[in-house]
Amino acid sequence: MLAGWCAAAAGPAAGQFVPDQTGALDGKDVMWVPTPDAAVARMLDMARVGPGDVVVDLGSGDGRIAIAAGKRGARARGIEYSADLVLTSRENARREGVADRVTFREADLFEVDFGDATVVTLYLLTTLNVKLRPRILALKPGTRVASHMFRMGDWEPDERDRVGGSDVFLWIVPARLAGAWRLTHGADAFTLDLQQSYQRVTGTARHARGLGALDVALRGADVRVSFEDAAGARRTLSGRVDGDRMQGEGWRAVRMPG
């Protein structure tokens, strides 16, 4: 709920909670401008937020994203630098009946631990998103990241949408696949040599007769590999990545050392 531009904010809709302050407020790195309610809803829809999720909103402003997540049954935590906005957020959560599962902390978002998040939400400048990117990519594969307006540099989003005047982006933290893997499928064995740039994975499949073209689709920890075997038949295998192992029905792969 932070923005780098101080755009004029539209007036609140009926029943919409807002802080006592009007307009943009100074923050540590940027100014705060509220995320429109329609964009909040779309962010949470794209991230498929529901019970069982832990949502961390970095730069939580008046708390509306975390509170909306709480209303969907998630546990949510807002990180906000402004003490006044933290107080406003806590009061908003109490008034909306979600204070038992939505909390707010006054802190620098670059100094807090959010490693337990299953969903991260952002309304920050692209430069700040990029600064956070290494920590986000270190989260558990499959963690969803929703951003209002601003992107992640050269990390392309998995999904995007436009709601009114708002751009909304979704990324899914990809499993780490780069390197060599030994794959067995039935009685046959293959070596996969994979290169990775975020969720984009390319490579080759080596078998007894040489190299075969390899297609890889990766979404979080879900993976699908498709390649030609030594007989020229195409094999398409779907499964899950778990650290140094991939596995699906009838096949498995182990990362090779080195």
- Structure tokens, 111: 């100094």
Task: Give the three-class secondary structure for 92.
Answer: helix
AA letter at 123: Y
pLDDT for the residue numbered 94 = 98
- Crossing angle of helices 37-46 and 64-71, in 10° steps, is 50
AA letter at 237: L
Report the C-alpha gap between 226 and 215 in whole angstroms.
5
Beta carbons of 78 and 57 less than 8 angstroms apart: yes
Beta carbons of 79 and 60 less than 8 angstroms apart: yes
Secondary structure, 3-state, 126-159: HHHHHHHHHHHHCCCCCCEEEEECCCECCECCCE
pLDDT for the residue numbered 128 = 97
pLDDT for the residue numbered 28 = 55
Ordered per-residue pLDDT tens for the chain, 258 residues:
553 332 223 333 333 434 433 344 445 556 789 999 999 999 999 999 999 999 999 999 999 999 999 999 999 999 999 999 999 999 999 999 999 999 999 999 999 999 999 999 999 999 999 999 999 999 999 999 999 999 999 999 999 999 999 999 999 999 999 999 999 999 999 999 999 999 999 999 998 778 888 999 999 999 999 998 888 889 999 999 999 999 999 999 999 997
What pTM was computed for the model? Answer: 0.88
Which among 140, 129, 154, 237 has a CA at the least distance from the CA of 190? 237
pLDDT for the residue numbered 132 = 98
pLDDT for the residue numbered 25 = 46
Residue 20, classified by CB atoms within 10 Å of its CB into exposed (0-12), middle (13-18) or buried (19+), is: exposed
pLDDT for the residue numbered 229 = 85
- Structure tokens, 9: 């904010």
Beta carbons of 39 and 66 less than 8 angstroms apart: no
Which among 255, 185, 178 has a CA at the least distance from the CA of 226? 185
List 253's β-bridge partners, or say none: 183, 246
In this structure, the chain runs to a length of 258
Delineate the domains of the chain, giving CATH numbers in brackets: 2-172 (3.40.50.150), 179-255 (no CATH)
AA letter at 205: A
Helices (H), the chain: 37-46, 64-71, 83-95, 126-137
